[in-house]
A and B are shown apart, each in its own frame.
Chain A
Amino acid sequence: QKEVEQDPGPLSVPEGAIVSLNCTYSNSAFQYFMWYRQYSRKGPELLMYTYSSGNKEDGRFTAQVDKSSKYISLFIRDSQPSDSATYLCAMSGAAAGNKLTFGGGTRVLVKP
C-alpha cells in the first residue's frame, strides 16, 4: 500500500464549478498536511497548510483533514481557467524538519 494515494485524474470541470480533490494516507505518524499547485515544469506552490482535523479556509480554497479516516481534501470554489494545474497533496510527521511525502498529483482542467 502506498503511503499517500491520490487520484491522478484528469479532472475536468466547467468554469465556476467547485473542484474537489482528495488524498488518503496510511501512515498515522503524519501530522502536517499541505496542498501545492504545480504548473507544468514549475516548482510546487504552497496553497494550504493544516495540522489539525477540521476545516481551514483561505479565499476560494478550503482544506479538510480527517485524521481518524486518514483522509484530506481540498475544495476550490468558483474555479477559473487559471486554476488548471496539477494539485499535489503532501504530508509530514511531527519531528522537527521532517521530510514531505507527496501524493502523485491530480491534474485539473477548468474549461471556460
Chain B
Amino acid sequence: EPEVTQTPSHQVTQMGQEVILRCVPISNHLYFYWYRQILGQKVEFLVSFYNNEISEKSEIFDDQFSVERPDGSNFTLKIRSTKLEDSAMYFCASIPTEMNTEAFFGQGTRLTVV
C-alpha cells in the first residue's frame, strides 16, 4: 500500500541552526501539507502546497519557515533558525485529487531543539 515517507524520524539540533525535514508523498497525489504537533497538544496546520506553490499557510508559518518540492517527488520543510519552541512532531500529508478527500499522513519527524 502506498505511503507517505518522512526522514529523518528524529532530529536533534541546536537552537539557531537550520533544519530540513524531508517527505516523499504518495505518487500522483496533488496536494501536500505540513502539520506539527507539540507534545500533548493538537495537530496544527502549517502550510499547504499545490502546483509548486504555497496555497495556504497558518500564522505559525512565519518567515523562518519555507517549503519546496525541488525534484517532483521530495517535499521539504526548512526551518532557518530553530527555536526551542519549534520542538515538536512534524507530519507531512498528501491528498490524491483536487476534491477534498482522504489525507494520508507520514509517520512524522520528531524535532528536538536544544
Contact = CB atoms under 8 A, between A and B. Distances in A.
B107 A101 contact: no
Q: Is the interface of A mostly helix, strand, loop or mixed?
A: loop
Looking at B42, B45, B91, B100, the one whose CB has the most chain A CB atoms below 10 A away is B100
Interface stretch (B12-20, B48-56, B63-71, B72-80): B48-56
A18 B33 CA distance: 34
Nearest to B44: A102
B55 A97 contact: yes
A44 B6 CA distance: 13
**Chain B interface size, under 10 / 10 to 19 / 20 to 34 / 35 or more:** 20 to 34
Interface in B62-114: 89, 91, 93, 95, 98-108, 110
Nearest to B97: A96
Given A34-B103, A92-B100, A103 B108 contact: no
A52 B33 CA distance: 24
Nearest to B56: A99
Contacts of B45: 99-101
B28 interface: no
Interface of A: 31-32, 34, 36, 41-46, 49, 51, 88, 90, 92-105
27 contacts: A41-B110, A42-B107, A42-B108, A43-B91, A43-B106, A45-B105, A46-B103, A49-B101, A51-B100, A90-B103, A96-B98, A96-B99, A96-B100, A97-B48, A97-B50, A97-B56, A97-B95, A97-B98, A99-B45, A99-B58, A100-B93, A100-B103, A101-B45, A102-B43, A102-B44, A104-B42, A105-B42
Given A96-B100, A97-B98, A98-B100, 9 more contacts: A44-B91, A45-B105, A46-B105, A49-B101, A51-B100, A88-B43, A100-B43, A100-B103, A103-B42
Interface of B: 4, 6, 30-31, 33, 35, 41-45, 48, 50, 55-56, 58, 89, 91, 93, 95, 98-108, 110
